[in-house]
Structure formats: C-alpha cells, structure tokens
Amino acid sequence: MALKSESGSNGESNGTVSIGLNAVIVAVTDEEPRLLTVRPSGRLRGQAGKGGRESGALPFGPLDPEKDRTLELGLTRWVREQTNLELGYVEQLYTFGDRDREPRSRSGGRRVLSVGYLALVREGQVAGREETSWRPWYEFFPWEDWRRGRPPLIDAAIEPALDRWVEGGKDPLRRQEHRERADITFGLRGAPWDGERVLERYELLYEAGLVFEARRDSELSSAGEPATGMGGRGEAGLVPGRSMVLDHRRIVATALGRLRGKIRYRPVVFELLPPTFTYLQLQRVVEALAGVRLHKQNFRRLVEKGGLVEGTGQLVSDTGGRPAELFRFRHEVLRERPTPGVGLPGVHS
C-alpha cells in the first residue's frame, strides 16, 4: 500500500526518476474535516515519535508509465483498487521533488518525485479497509482550528518557540527577517491571521525545528548526532500535532491551504455535502474547512445573494428546533457569476 518495494537497480544514473502519486482524500463528517490515512508500512514504520505520537501516511501509489495514460487516471485507478473509493472531484496540488524528501534517495537509491492530489468525497462514502482511517485533519495542524477561538497553543507553545528561533538568528538583519516572517505567517504582534497560509506556517515550524519531521530528518541526515542544536531530545520543545511519514504533512498542508482558498471562488463545498442539505449544514462544512466560526445571518445572506443554492420545499425536523428547509446547489449559478464561492463573511457567531 505504501512505497514501492522493488529496490533492484539502485541509482543507475541516466536521468530517470520514479513518480509517486499521493492523494489527500478529504471528507467532512460530524462537522470535522477528515483525511484518509493509511498505516505506514515497511521501512517507514519505525519513524513515529516516542511519546505515543504515531505517524500516519497518505495513500500512495506509483505511476505506471506504461499503463496510466494520464496522472489523474493513474491516481483514480489505484485509489479504486486499494480503497474502493470512487473519486469525484480531483485536483492536482503540487509536485514535491526535493532530493531529501525520501530517505532512499539520500542513500543512493532512485529518486522519487511525488505528485500530490486533492480529492473531495461525500460524507458517508468511507473506504472499507482496516489499515485505513479517517483522521480529523486538525489533529495534524491543531493551530489551524480557530472555531473555538484562537488556539491556546499558539500563545503557549508556538509564539515563545518562534521567539527563540528569531533570537537564534545569526545577525540583526537575519533576526529582523525572521521576526517579520514569524509575525506574518502566524499573525503575531498585531498582524492578521490569514487562514490560507497553512503551508507557510508548517514550513516555518519545520525550519525552526518545531515539528517532529524536522528532528527526524536532521537525525537521519547526520546519522545519530543531534543536528541543529535541537535534535535528538525526544519531544521536548516540539509543537503539538500528529506527524506524518516523509513529507506527507507538507502535502496535507498544501491541500488545506488550497482548499481554503478555493471555497471562496469556486463552489467546491458542495462536493463534500449530500445533494440536499440545510443552511446550517452548509455553514458547518464551510466553517470546518475555513477553521473559523462564521456569522450566521450574514453567511445566509451571502449564500442567498450569491445565488448558490435554491430551496427544495422539503423540511427536515431532526434539527433540535424548528424544522429547516433543504436546499440544493443551484447549477445555473455557474453561468451567471464568474466566481461563485461562499465568500466568507465575518468571523464568530
């Protein structure tokens, strides 16, 4: 299920590489965005942190250059084979090609590039394999979930750790640059929080040695001895959050950032909802993705004026209060508006 295990030809240097396809498969259930993870297998197994922090892995499949006519067809093929999931919405994210992303490459094996994809599936459709599980994605990025207010770990763990990172800069100019970057990416010292900078935040934490993967990678490369002065000391000084194998958490960060941007100008939320839904369901899904609570009435008005949905006349009464009307996505909006998204209104309820 994970990385190819044939390791015959090691590094016959004729400019060739292998291609891996990684899928970030997202669904929203119980107001929680989740991604499909698999158990890391083979030599990647042992990479988990010590204190119960077990690594997850993204579903992965190699591209078969002979059979797969397009990358996307290759992806949907092995996802279907492995998980019985039929992917609907699929979008290419990014191609990750750093040499150091894969331990084998460092030890002279063939280099593996991986093309990351984002796929959205409907709530309810769940794969039936036991090695797989749907994990709430904020387990991997606790600092990204602002639905219950500013996450305490930002002030408690991230800001002080970044302060130390800033202070550790070589010269004043460096420190100044670090300060600015930390402030902008994490919204510190009066800078605004930008929900879409998910990748920038993860990469900053990685560079500052504050996520497990950074420590793992520096230990691997310098074989034993602590690297940047932060390695090798268990989990001390790490920011909370479940880690992943290889650079998979980076891929997920890319996916989250992209998705947060996209809901604002393309009607992708509806890929995650059943065909009919109530306004509150819709709002909860958007909130889950955006990671913030939205103003109810304004959200309603925005969606309404945007012409994104239309009522069905049907009511549901399991709301816990007054019955709600069921709505469906208004297909015609595509030919009326250039950018039909949910355009997030103000925060909080």
Partner DNA sequence: GTAATAGTGTCTTTCAGACAGTATGAC
Partner DNA sequence: GTCATACTGTCTGAAAGACACTATTAC
Q: Which residues sit opposite 94 in a β-bridge?
A: 116
Binding-site residue total for its own copies (CB under 8 A)? 48
Instruction: Work out whether 13 is an interface residue with its own copies (CB under 8 A).
Output: yes
172 touches, from DNA, its own copies, none (C-beta below 5 to 8 Å by class): none
Q: Which is nearer to its own copies, 68 or 145 (CB)?
A: 68
Instruction: Work out whether 97 is an interface residue with its own copies (CB under 8 A).
Output: yes
Determine how many CB atoms are found less than 10 A away from the CB of residue 297. Answer: 10
Mark residue 122 as left, alpha or beta (left: phi above 0; alpha: psi -120 to 50; beta: remaining): beta
Tokens of 266: 């393309």
What's the rounded Cα separation, in Å, for the pair 138 and 244?
13
Instruction: Work out whether 77 is an interface residue with its own copies (CB under 8 A).
Output: no
Tokens of 56: 């997850």
- Burial zone of 264 (CB within 10 Å; 0-12 exposed, 13-18 middle, 19+ buried): middle
Helix (H, G, I), strand (E, B) or coil at 342: coil
Tokens of 259: 């998705």
Instruction: Work out whether 325 is an interface residue with DNA (CB under 7 A).
Output: yes
337 touches, from its own copies, DNA, none (C-beta below 5 to 8 Å by class): its own copies
Instruction: Work out whether 167 is an interface residue with its own copies (CB under 8 A).
Output: no
302 touches, from its own copies, DNA, none (C-beta below 5 to 8 Å by class): DNA
What's the rounded Cα separation, in Å, for the pair 345 and 259?
17
Instruction: Work out whether 280 is an interface residue with DNA (CB under 7 A).
Output: yes
The least CB distance from residue 329 to DNA, in Å, is 16
What's the rounded Cα separation, in Å, for the pair 239 and 205?
8
Q: Which is nearer to its own copies, 144 or 238 (CB)?
A: 144
Q: Which is nearer to DNA, 16 or 298 (CB)?
A: 298
Instruction: Work out whether 65 is an interface residue with its own copies (CB under 8 A).
Output: yes
The least CB distance from residue 201 to DNA, in Å, is 23
- Burial zone of 50 (CB within 10 Å; 0-12 exposed, 13-18 middle, 19+ buried): exposed
Instruction: Work out whether 9 is an interface residue with its own copies (CB under 8 A).
Output: yes
Q: Give me the phi and psi of 311, to 5 degrees please.
A: -70, 155
Piece of the chain touching its own copies by CB under 8 A; list 67-75, 142-150, 151-159, 217-225: 67-75
Which member of 191, 274, 301, 307 binds its own copies (CB under 8 A)? Answer: 191
Which member of 233, 334, 346, 348 binds its own copies (CB under 8 A)? Answer: 334
Instruction: Work out whether 242 is an interface residue with its own copies (CB under 8 A).
Output: no
User: Please, which residues have CB within 8 angstroms of residue 290's CB and are 6 or more apart in sequence?
Assistant: 195, 260, 263, 344
Instruction: Work out whether 9 is an interface residue with DNA (CB under 7 A).
Output: no
Query: How far apart are the two ends of the chain, measured CA to CA in Å?
Result: 43
Instruction: Work out whether 80 is an interface residue with its own copies (CB under 8 A).
Output: no
CA within 13 Å, CB half, 177: 7
Q: Which is nearer to DNA, 177 or 336 (CB)?
A: 336
What's the rounded Cα separation, in Å, for the pair 245 and 8?
23
Instruction: Work out whether 333 is an interface residue with DNA (CB under 7 A).
Output: no
Binding mask 279-318 vs its own copies (x if CB under 8 A, - otherwise)? ----------------------------------------
Instruction: Work out whether 343 is an interface residue with DNA (CB under 7 A).
Output: yes
Determine how many CB atoms are found less than 10 A away from the CB of residue 229. Answer: 10
Instruction: Work out whether 155 is an interface residue with DNA (CB under 7 A).
Output: no
What's the rounded Cα separation, in Å, for the pair 195 and 180?
18
Helix (H, G, I), strand (E, B) or coil at 197: coil
Instruction: Work out whether 323 is an interface residue with DNA (CB under 7 A).
Output: yes
Instruction: Work out whether 300 is an interface residue with DNA (CB under 7 A).
Output: yes
Element (H, E) at 262: helix 248-262
**Site residues (CB under 8 A) for its own copies?**
4, 6, 8-9, 11, 13-19, 62-66, 68-71, 92, 94-95, 97-100, 110-111, 113, 115, 180, 183-184, 190-196, 334-339
